Amino acid sequence: MEIKATDVAKLRQMTGAGMMDCKNALVEANGDFDRAKEIIREKGKLVAAKRADRATTEGSVIAKISPDYKQAILVCLGCETDFVSQNAEFKALANSIADAASAEYPANLQALLDARIGETTIQELVTQQTGKSGEKHDIPYYEHIEAEYIAAYIHTNGKVATIVGFNKQVSDEVGKDIAMQITAMAPVSITKTDCPFAVIEKELEIYREQIRQEGKPENMVEKIAQGKLQKFFKESTLEDQTFVKDGKISVAEYLKTADPEAKVTAFRRFSLND
Output the pLDDT for position 68. Answer: 97
CATH, residue 223: 1.10.286.20
Residues 62 and 182 in one domain: yes
Return the minimum-mean-pLDDT range out of 51-55, 120-124, 202-206: 51-55
Output the pLDDT for position 12. Answer: 76
CATH, residue 17: 1.10.8.10
Average pLDDT over residues 7-20: 74
3-state secondary structure the chain: CCCCHHHHHHHHHHHCCCHHHHHHHHHHCCCCHHHHHHHHHHHHHHHHHHCCCCCCCEEEEEEEECCCCCEEEEEEEEECCHHHHCCHHHHHHHHHHHHHHHHHCCCCHHHHHHCEECCEEHHHHHHHHHHHHCCCCEEEEEEEEECCEEEEEECCCCCEEEEEEECCCCCHHHHHHHHHHHHHHCCCECCHHHCCHHHHHHHHHHHHHHHHHCCCCHHHHHHHHHHHHHHHHHHHEHHHCECCCCCCCEHHHHHHHHCCCCCEEEEEEEECCC
The one-letter amino acid code at 92 reads: A
Mean pLDDT, all residues of the chain:
91
Residues 178 and 197 in one domain: no
Phi, psi values for residue 8, rounded to 5°? -60, -45
Residues 80 and 206 in one domain: no
Cβ(112)–Cβ(202) below 8 Å: no
**Rounded to the nearest 5 degrees, what angle is found at the Cα of 185, between the Cα atoms of 268 and 158?**
60
Residues 26 and 115 in one domain: no
Q: Which of 3-7, 36-40, 195-199 has the highest mean pLDDT?
A: 195-199
Residues 179 and 70 in one domain: yes
Residues 164 and 246 in one domain: no
State the residue range of the domain holding 24.
5-50
Residues 209 and 91 in one domain: no
Residues 114 and 145 in one domain: yes
Cβ(232)–Cβ(258) below 8 Å: no
CATH, residue 146: 3.30.479.20
145 has which bridge partners?
72
Strands in 138-146's sheet, in edge-to-edge order, are 58-65, 71-79, 138-146
Return the minimum-mean-pLDDT range out of 2-16, 133-147, 211-225: 2-16
Residue 128 has pLDDT above 90, yes or no: no
Residues 172 and 102 in one domain: yes
Task: Report the C-alpha gap between 109 and 132 in whole angstroms.
Answer: 23
Sequence-separated (6 or more) residues with CB below 8 Å from residue 150: 65, 66, 69, 70, 71, 72, 163, 164, 165, 166, 175
Q: How confident is the model at residue 3 (pLDDT cuts 50, 70, 90)?
A: confident
Residue 46 has pLDDT above 70, yes or no: no
Return the minimum-mean-pLDDT range out of 8-17, 22-31, 209-218: 8-17
Tens-digit pLDDT profile for residues 83-108: 999 999 899 999 999 999 999 999 99
Sequence-separated (6 or more) residues with CB below 8 Å from residue 97: 62, 75, 77, 112, 117, 122, 125, 126, 139
Residues 106 and 90 in one domain: yes
Output the pLDDT for position 51. Answer: 67
Residues 175 and 86 in one domain: yes
Number of domains in the chain: 3
Residues 146 and 90 in one domain: yes
